[in-house]
Amino acid sequence: MEVLLPRSLDEALDLAAAHPEAVPVAGGTDVMVEINMDHARPEILMDVSRLSELARCDREDGQLFLGAGVTYTRIMRELPEATALVQASRSVGSPQIRNRGTVGGNLGTASPAGDALPVLAAMGSEVVLVAAGGRTRSLPWDAFLTGVKRNALEPGELILGARWRVPRGPGSFSKIGTRTAMVISVASVCLQIDDDERTVHVALGSVAPTVIRAPEAESAVAVALDRAGAWDDPAATIGAADAEAFAELVAAAARPIDDVRGTAAYRRHACRVLARRALAWALADRRAEAA
């Protein structure tokens, strides 16, 4: 096996153009498992973990750009304001995995169980791709994630990072697994309130071929918040029936399957419970901030 060790993004992109079959490796926490289990035997690996251009984390004009090579440990240390992303990062694997694993790797693997992905979906993020000559293109998260472990990356391209507008309002990520730590999610939910846009975004992981949003639930809860006057007065809240209807719509948006980690019925139930909790936390945070 040949291993390419580029020292700059330009060099990496030239190598990727010359060897489109080369498999990029960032933290290697997915790639090396595939190789160790003999599920893949790439002829060429390209280490992208040393590229400082992928390790950037920039805040600009109310937007956050998260480089593909930023690890979960760095997110936890350096982005405390990105609450949901920090919570998702904390839930990934073990400290060793979080020290090596990156959001770019999560996007590259494109598993519906990737824990960073519901956060990127709830934020309505764009995935930025780059190719030789510095050609970049940005795809909305749902155009990038095309299926189970499939994405829109073309040969010769690298993931530069993801970008989103930072919303003003509370948000959270939570997941259910078969145990409490070191676990692939059976279902996960990211909920984000945007007080400027007066919207609630909800994204689900592990319950469909890709991460999905729950648009009917999002609209229904935004209307309920409006009816309750909660957009103008964070101390106001919605009734139990509206919260339950929201959780029901989130569960209805899921398209789960039965597999070794859980049944479709359990996953749908998990979505209902996680959604109800996430909404309660977010509304409590808004009330606490207003008090």
Ligand X SMILES: Cc1cc2nc3c(=O)[nH]c(=O)nc-3n(C[C@H](O)[C@H](O)[C@H](O)COP(=O)(O)OP(=O)(O)OC[C@H]3O[C@@H](n4cnc5c(N)ncnc54)[C@H](O)[C@@H]3O)c2cc1C
Q: Which of 9, 97, 228, 245 binds ligand X (CB under 6 A)?
A: 97
- Contact between 225 and ligand X (CB under 6 A)? no
- Min dist CB 88 to ligand X, Å, is 8
Q: What strands, in cross-sheet order, belong to the sheet with 187-194?
A: 171-176, 187-194, 199-205, 212-213
- Contact between 176 and ligand X (CB under 6 A)? no
Q: Tell which positions 187-216 bind ligand X, by CB under 6 A.
A: none
Q: Is 4 or 158 the residue whose CB approaches ligand X more closely?
A: 158
Between CA 69 and CA 132 the distance in angstroms is: 18
Q: Which of 73, 89, 106, 125 binds ligand X (CB under 6 A)?
A: 106
Q: Is 92 or 207 the residue whose CB approaches ligand X more closely?
A: 92
Buried b (16+ CB within 10 A) or exposed e, 215-242: eebbebbbebbeebebbeebebbbeeeb
The SS3 call for residue 277 is helix
- Contact between 156 and ligand X (CB under 6 A)? no
Q: Which of 54, 75, 82, 127 binds ligand X (CB under 6 A)?
A: 54
Between CA 232 and CA 37 the distance in angstroms is: 55
- Contact between 68 and ligand X (CB under 6 A)? yes
Q: Which of 24, 112, 170, 171 binds ligand X (CB under 6 A)?
A: 24
Q: Which of 4, 6, 29, 200 binds ligand X (CB under 6 A)?
A: 29
> Which tokens go with 276?
């109800």
Q: Taking a C-beta distance cutoff of 8 angstroms, is the pair 67, 160 a contact?
A: yes
Contacting range for ligand X; rule: CB under 6 A; set: 26-34, 138-146, 195-203, 259-267: 26-34
Q: Is 115 or 242 the residue whose CB approaches ligand X more closely?
A: 115
Q: Is 176 or 243 the residue whose CB approaches ligand X more closely?
A: 176
The 8-class DSSP code of residue 102 comes to: B
- Contact between 130 and ligand X (CB under 6 A)? no
Q: Taking a C-beta distance cutoff of 8 angstroms, is the pair 109, 25 a contact?
A: no
The SS3 call for residue 101 is coil
The SS3 call for residue 141 is helix
- Contact between 109 and ligand X (CB under 6 A)? yes
The SS3 call for residue 36 is helix
Total residues in contact with ligand X, by rule CB under 6 A: 31
Which residues on neighbouring strands pair with residue 139, listed in sequence order? 127
- Contact between 115 and ligand X (CB under 6 A)? yes
Contacting range for ligand X; rule: CB under 6 A; set: 98-106, 234-242, 248-256, 271-279: 98-106
Q: Taking a C-beta distance cutoff of 8 angstroms, is the pair 24, 103 a contact?
A: no
Q: Which of 48, 123, 207, 253 binds ligand X (CB under 6 A)?
A: 48
The SS3 call for residue 131 is strand
- Contact between 87 and ligand X (CB under 6 A)? no
- Which of 199, 190, 219 has its CA nearest to residue 278? 190
* Residues at the site binding ligand X, with contacts judged by CB under 6 A: 23-31, 33, 48, 54, 68, 91-93, 97, 100-102, 104-106, 108-109, 114-115, 153, 158-159, 184
